Amino acid sequence: MPAIKIQNLVKRYSEVTAVDGVSLEIPDGEVFGLLGPNGAGKTTLISMLATLVKPTSGTALVAGRDIRTESLEVRRNIGIVFQEPSVDDLLTGRENLYLHSMLYGVPRREIRPKIETMLGLVNLADRADSLVKTYSGGMRRRLEIARGLIHGPKILFLDEPTLGLDPASRKAVWTHIRELKETHNTTIILTTHYMEEADSLADRIAIINKGKIIELDTPAALKKKVGQDLVFLKGDINEAAVRALPFVDSVQRGDGRFTISMENAGANLQALLNAGGRIEEVEVRRVTLDDVFLKFAGQQISEDAEEHSESIFERIAVNKTQGK
């Protein structure tokens, strides 16, 4: 039985279709990355799987339970770390973890030792008894992660788990996610718009844009679809000669330079430069998921992110205030 089986899930808001017919299977113990710009539908998809938002149509089985009819059973099996902070400001860190454990039915005698373990894990032991409103953004984030993990869920949803974290905390969270997968066989669904994060953690990645999954594969396979290495050339380039080289996959022109996707740049770069013509500037790098997203979604994640997220939510907000 797969941990999650999504069947043609749709969520439509007044004007925007946030999730547009997603079907997907995620096996037990997989770390699954949902990658896309803000507003692509990642959070809505996760909210539906966590039974927080009702789908417009379609359904999904989470831990074998239907999200439409068995929401309580679904919630017993999942943990969720939200994108926006939802820890209680007026309580201390320890109190937040205690209340969460009670709500999730952790046996009473296990609660205290578990809280200590989690506090140590996210490095908050010394501030555990301060009110959360005195915490920094990174500390709240870490508390939130501790809370999502404390009841040992079989399936864990992490919505942008490292957003706003400093590099050291981010690495600590990554390490912990890997440990969860290895020691507990936890199925983890992770949304992110950091390519590096998806690349280093996920077994498979779905690229999602405008509510649709546009590509689904392992990070390595996705990168392969774009080519292994990218070479950027500026100057008076002999395009036809470059295209004719056997190791070149594709040549694109834009931004005043040529982007050449090729195999094994280390061995073949010399030949490329010899054939290329009068070259002024050369840049060589490995393909990243950024390039993958650019190829499949036709846009870059970073430059689109802010504008896109605003447009969807503001349009909803405007509609609501106008009473539509």
Partner 1 sequence: MINLNAVYALLLREVKIFFREKERIVSMLISPLLFLFVMGEGLAGGHSPVPGYTYQQFIFPGIMAMVILFTSITYGLYIIWDKRLDFLKEVLAAPISRSTLFVGKSLGGMLGAMIEILMLLTIGAIFILPLNVWKALLCLAAALPMSYLVTNMGLTIGARMKSMEGFGLVMSFLTWPLFFFSGALFDLATSARYIQVLSLLNPVTYSVDLLRIIMLGQGAFTVWADLGAIAVFCLATTILGVSAFGDLQQEK
- Determine which residue in the list 5, 12, 76, 212 makes contact with partner 1, applying CB under 8 A: 76
Instruction: Please state the separation of Cα 163 from the chain's center in Å.
Output: 10
The sheet that has 78-81: what strands, in order across it? 78-81, 155-159, 187-192, 31-35, 204-209, 212-217
Q: In terms of CB distance, is 89 or 303 closer to partner 1?
A: 89
Angle formed by the axes of helices 108-121 and 93-103, nearest 10°:
140
Beta carbons of 77 and 63 less than 8 angstroms apart: yes
Integer CA distances (angstroms), 294 to 71, 196, 298, in order: 37, 15, 5
Question: For the window 20-59, what string marks contact with partner 1 as x by the rule CB under 8 A?
Answer: ---------------------------x--xxxxx-----
Question: Residue 140 has which token pair?
Answer: 């709240």
For 150, other C-beta atoms within 10 Å of its C-beta total 24
Beta bridge partners of 284: 231
CA–CA–CA angle 167, 172, 176 (5° rounding):
145
When binding is defined by CB under 8 A, the residue of 45, 61, 65, 82 that contacts partner 1 is 82
Taking CB under 8 A as the criterion, the residue among 70, 88, 217, 263 binding partner 1 is 88
**10 touches partner 1 (CB under 8 A):** no
Selected binder of partner 1 within 11, 42, 65, 75 (CB under 8 A): 75
Specify whether the CB–CB gap between 73 and 123 falls below 8 A. Answer: no
Of the candidate residues 23, 86, 185, 250, the single one contacting partner 1 (CB under 8 A): 86
Residues in region 99-158 near partner 1 by CB under 8 A = 99-100, 102-105, 108, 131, 147
Number of chain residues interacting with partner 1 (CB under 8 A): 35
Of 73-81, 227-235, 260-268, 286-294, which segment contacts partner 1 by CB under 8 A? Answer: 73-81
Three-state secondary structure call for residue 294: helix
CB-nearer residue toward partner 1: 54 or 285: 54
Residues near partner 1, by CB under 8 A? 47, 50-54, 72-73, 75-76, 78, 80, 82, 84-91, 95, 98-100, 102-105, 108, 131, 147, 313, 316, 320
